Amino acid sequence: MVRERDGRFAVIVADGAVLLERRPPTGIWGGLLSLPELPEDADTAPWVATRFGLRVRKVERLAGFRHVFTHFTLNLQPELVDVATPGACNEATLLWQALDRLDEAALPAPVRKLLLQLTQRDLLAGAD
């Protein structure tokens, strides 16, 4: 039986860029840039405001999807978070990545696919 895990991820966007966070060197997607993972019970807007010092304008729950690893299945629930302006990255693990330059970022395949789908459908274009 394949184990299943759930993960909530924040797609934080401002001015044509998305906020990415470097994953720890070990574990799922070790060392890659990814979307910030939301705590299971967090209220998205206050969590983003407190964690990153950003002013949230809007939060929209996006369609969830699954990604299968060799030893478990990850159910991803992304939430689009529109913020007023990109904040300063005071942590070495944070990076604002231009949405039109995603090919330059070391992203896990499902995160890259999600961001490309959102940009192609213009869901991120209006969120800046």
**What is the chain's pLDDT, residue by residue, as a tens digit (128 residues)?**
668 777 889 999 998 899 999 988 777 767 889 999 999 899 999 999 999 999 999 999 988 777 666 676 778 889 999 998 877 766 778 999 999 999 999 998 888 888 988 887 765 554 44
**Which residues, listed in sequence order, are joined to residue 38 by a DSSP beta bridge?**
8
**CA–CA dist 93, 50 (Å, integer):** 17
Q: 57, 32, 34, 33: which is closest to 44 by C-alpha?
A: 57
Instruction: Write out the residue range of the structural domain in which residue 108 sits.
Output: 3-127
CATH number at residue 21: 3.90.79.10
pTM of the predicted protein model: 0.82
C-alpha Rg value of the chain to the nearest Å? 14
Please provide residue 102's backbone torsions phi and psi, each rounded to the nearest 5 degrees. -65, -25
Number of domains in the chain: 1
| Three-class DSSP category at 68 | strand
